[in-house]
Amino acid sequence: MRIKIVIAGPRGRMGQEAVKMVLDEPDFQLVGCIDRKDKEVQVPFLAEKGIPVYRDAEECFYAQEVDVLIDLTVAESSYDYVMMALRKQIRCVVGTTGFSNEQLQTMKATAKENSTGCIIAPNFALGAILMMHFSKIAAKFFPDIEIIEKHHDQKIDAPSGTAIKTAEMIKNVRNSKIQGHPDEVETMQGARGASDDGIRIHSLRLPGLVAHQEVIFGGEGQTLTIKHDSMNRKSFMEGIKLSVQQVMNLKEYVYGLENVLDLA
């Protein structure tokens, strides 16, 4: 018995990869897509495969028997789709970011009322999730930490969101600490990178890079390094796949991919 899936947002960059992933996975069946496009144009690769595309979520859930909704749209529409799905006891896997706290709380309550699984994950990159989880553990034993994140030179902001999140998670388990020699001197400003509670963060930007991060832990006579290299959007698909499998056995709302994985 294959898991019957609807994808909302099939034309987006993540959506296109998700469509491919669901079509390729033997245990999954793509029964439809939701695409709120103004004019009723066909999405070519979906039409070819005979996958119906609905402009309206209600209509979709009425026409099809659905096990899981994968929502990869934006917060505005996503909230409506998810609320509608949960009330019909259709499980949700949601990659959308930008929900308000109130929206998150309402979705949580609705999932519970309907005993229906709902996974909301701002980041589906399994490798990045593991990197952050391992870093949190390692920081208990090695409090001297440097983060290097490397991205293509089209990225505007430094440090990256993942680097900031990693430092945030580490700070929860590590006592505040000033690193380096107490008399340390920067003869060129910025050489020692940014400091978040003493943790040093270095952002590299070069053509030819994609999205990379390493977290280096130093102890007497040894270093431990945890590194994630992401080459393309396909890296998110493994996380979505795992979420679909996990949500089938869930009866409630879970926030964050790390909380549905067996990380012991």
Q: Which residues are catalytic?
A: 151, 155
Site for its own copies in 148-177 (CB under 8 A): 148, 150, 153-159, 164
What lies within 8 Å, CB to CB, of 228 at 6+ separation is: 125, 127, 128, 130, 131, 212, 213, 214
Which helix (H) or strand (E) segment holds residue 74: the answer is: none
Nearer to its own copies, 34 or 129 (CB): 129
Does position 28 interact with its own copies (CB under 8 A)? The reply is: no
Does position 8 interact with its own copies (CB under 8 A)? The reply is: no
Which helix (H) or strand (E) segment holds residue 195: the answer is: strand 194-196
How far apart (Å, rounded) are the C-alpha atoms in residues 253 and 107? Answer: 8
Does position 1 interact with its own copies (CB under 8 A)? The reply is: no
Candidate segments 4-12, 66-74, 115-123, 191-199, binder of its own copies by CB under 8 A? 191-199
Candidate segments 61-69, 75-83, 98-106, 190-198, binder of its own copies by CB under 8 A? 190-198
- The identity of residue 178, as a single letter, is I
Instruction: State the minimum distance, in angstroms, from the CB of residue 16 to its own copies.
Output: 14
Does position 188 interact with its own copies (CB under 8 A)? The reply is: yes
- The identity of residue 262, as a single letter, is D
Task: List the beta bridge partners of residue 150.
Answer: 204, 212
Specify binding-site residues for NAD(+). Answer: 9-14, 95-97, 121-124
